[in-house]
């Protein structure tokens, strides 16, 4: 069967370099994803392939143009993510997804969600005071949680950010490690620090920590506290026990938000300890004001190989069951 051909004209010439990518890499990715052939001449594109695939590619370009018209600039990698989104769901509304931007510091500008799950996650945080996000590594759970915390702090919605992580010990007791509490828990909180450093200048982060506007704490040290006017993040929550999870969630004070992130496939607790993140799903899934957001391998936004690695391990685990 002879393939169809469709010609489209891009109205905004200034957008072409972003859409096409360096050395037309984005166009090559589109060709591979949708099994079409694209030839270009200035702002004219000729798409050859199956009629259904042609219409999908046409829709992709039109949606990307509308993002620019809506003053939603395409940052590094945004076009690639848009291509992936449309490839997975031809009905995806890119404008709706990309419009839920998080305003962080001038260093980073805006952070946009990289898919429906991230979009839903951001909306849930804006709406509810407690959000639990569960899914594999590389889906942006921690990064987005930190971004929302930074936005809230800079906009003075909160007086402080509290970063919490279980210190699951691997051979060494936390109490015997040198240094103060911050130095002892530092290795466990590096992903949170990395996210902060990506959004704000290092000196600004250090200044906020010195002033107590950013606080770090091992989960065990949260007992007995009530946190008001704060954005609190519990990362790696799959390694919190049932008792610790109850203790943490009941620290919520007035005008505060809590975000809990974790991957229930990577539990490092001793076998006799039950993960509080697994337990809490059935316990609180119907409580109004608490949201559960689930990510899957299709939501992975790291290197494409990360997604393939996770899928391979998931397949191996399911084969062994």
Report pLDDT for 193.
Answer: 82
CB 125 within 8 A of CB 284: no
Report pLDDT for 171.
Answer: 37
Cα–Cα distance for residue pair 210/204, rounded to 1 Å: 10
3-class DSSP assignment, residue 80:
helix
The percentage of the chain sitting over the pLDDT mark of 90, rounded to a whole number, equals 40
Tell me how many degrees the CA angle 27-30-32 measures, rounded to the nearest 5: 110
The mean pLDDT value of the chain amounts to 85
Residues 31-41: what's their mean pLDDT? 90
CA–CA distances in Å: residue 63 to residues 31, 96, 197: 17, 10, 32
Structure-token match 């299709």, residue found? 298
Q: Which has more pLDDT, 173 or 97?
A: 97
Residues 133-154: what's their mean pLDDT? 93
CB 239 within 8 A of CB 275: yes
Report pLDDT for 243.
Answer: 92
Strand partners, 221: none
Model's pTM, two decimal places? 0.79
Cα–Cα distance for residue pair 218/289, rounded to 1 Å: 26
Report pLDDT for 233.
Answer: 96
Report pLDDT for 214.
Answer: 94
CB 47 within 8 A of CB 8: yes
Q: Which has more pLDDT, 278 or 171?
A: 278
Most confident of 98-112, 241-255, 272-286: 241-255
Residues 273-285: what's their mean pLDDT? 91
Cα–Cα distance for residue pair 170/174, rounded to 1 Å: 10
């Amino acid at each position: 069967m002879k393939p169809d051909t469709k010609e489209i004209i891009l109205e905004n010439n200034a957008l072409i370099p972003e859409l096409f990518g360096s050395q037309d890499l984005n166009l090559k990715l589109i060709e591979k994803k949708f099994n079409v052939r694209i030839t270009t001449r200035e702002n004219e594109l000729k798409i050859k392939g199956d009629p259904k695939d042609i219409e999908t590619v046409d829709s992709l370009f039109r949606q990307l143009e509308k993002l620019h018209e809506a003053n939603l600039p395409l940052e590094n990698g945004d076009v690639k993510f848009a291509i992936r989104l449309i490839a997975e769901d031809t009905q995806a509304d890119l404008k709706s997804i990309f419009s839920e931007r998080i305003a962080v510091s001038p260093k980073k500008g805006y952070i946009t969600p990289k898919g429906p799950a991230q979009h839903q996650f951001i909306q849930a945080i804006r709406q509810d005071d407690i959000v639990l996000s569960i899914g594999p590594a590389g889906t942006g759970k921690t990064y987005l949680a930190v971004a929302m915390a930074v936005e809230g702090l800079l906009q003075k919605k909160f007086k402080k950010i509290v970063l919490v992580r279980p210190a699951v010990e691997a051979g060494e007791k936390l109490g015997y490690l040198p240094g103060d509490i911050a130095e002892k828990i530092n290795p466990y909180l590096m992903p949170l620090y990395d996210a902060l450093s990506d959004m704000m200048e290092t000196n600004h982060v250090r200044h906020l920590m010195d002033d107590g506007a950013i606080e770090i704490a091992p989960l065990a040290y949260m007992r007995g506290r009530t946190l008001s006017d704060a954005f609190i993040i519990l990362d790696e929550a799959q390694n919190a026990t049932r008792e610790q999870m109850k203790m943490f969630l009941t620290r919520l004070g007035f005008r505060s938000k809590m975000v809990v992130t974790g991957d229930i496939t990577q539990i490092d607790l001793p076998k006799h300890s039950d993960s509080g993140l697994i337990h809490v799903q059935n316990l609180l899934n119907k409580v109004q004001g608490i949201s559960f957001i689930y990510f899957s391998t299709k939501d992975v936004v790291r290197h494409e190989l990360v997604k393939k690695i996770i899928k391979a391990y998931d397949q191996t685990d399911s084969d062994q069951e």
